[in-house]
Amino acid sequence: MAIRWRGSRWLAVAELVLVVAVVVADTHRLVPFSKTPFYFVLGWVSLRVREVGWRGVGFTLPRGWPRALVLGAGAGIVLEIVSAFMVEPTLARLLRQSPDLSDFRPLVGSTTLLLVVLSANLVLPPSARSSCIGAT
């Protein structure tokens, strides 16, 4: 009798064990940057085994995606302007010191490192981003 993996409880248990293994590896500092790539691969393999595509779990473009993209970009630009011209100067005055940007010194003149860090910002959680500059 062939095992039906799509609805198998053993598959779910195996996936849970793998997730726990990634968490344990991360607590022992064996995960270099982030658990996210490992979870992505685990999710992708799980979907393939179950013969379900990304659309089957809701990863589709919404109907009004162009409008959402424009609104999101506009909101991001507004937030950046408010941060750069209002929040940061106010904090610098209140705290009587400028922000310490020395962690970004390795990016000066290195387009490759800049692209690596920007890419990491797109996919990694904030806790892992701070180690990207020093790790490369």
pLDDT in single tens digits along all 136 residues of the chain: 345 666 678 888 999 999 999 999 988 988 887 888 899 999 999 988 888 888 888 888 888 999 999 999 999 999 999 999 999 999 999 999 988 889 889 999 999 999 988 888 887 766 655 555 555 4
Identify whether 133 is part of a domain: no
Identify whether 123 is part of a domain: no
Q: What pLDDT shows up at residue 134?
A: 55
Separation between Cα atoms, residue 93 and residue 65, nearest integer Å: 40
Provide the number of structural domains found in the chain.
Answer: 1
> Where in the sequence is the domain holding 4, given as residue range(s)?
1-57
Identify whether 86 is part of a domain: no
Q: How far is CA 55 from the centre of its chain?
A: 20
Closest by CA to 117, choosing from 100, 133, 135, is: 133
Residue type, 30: L
Which tokens in the block code for residue 104? 């970004």
Identify whether 68 is part of a domain: no
Identify whether 99 is part of a domain: no
Determine if the pTM surpasses 0.85. Answer: no
CB 11 within 8 A of CB 3: no
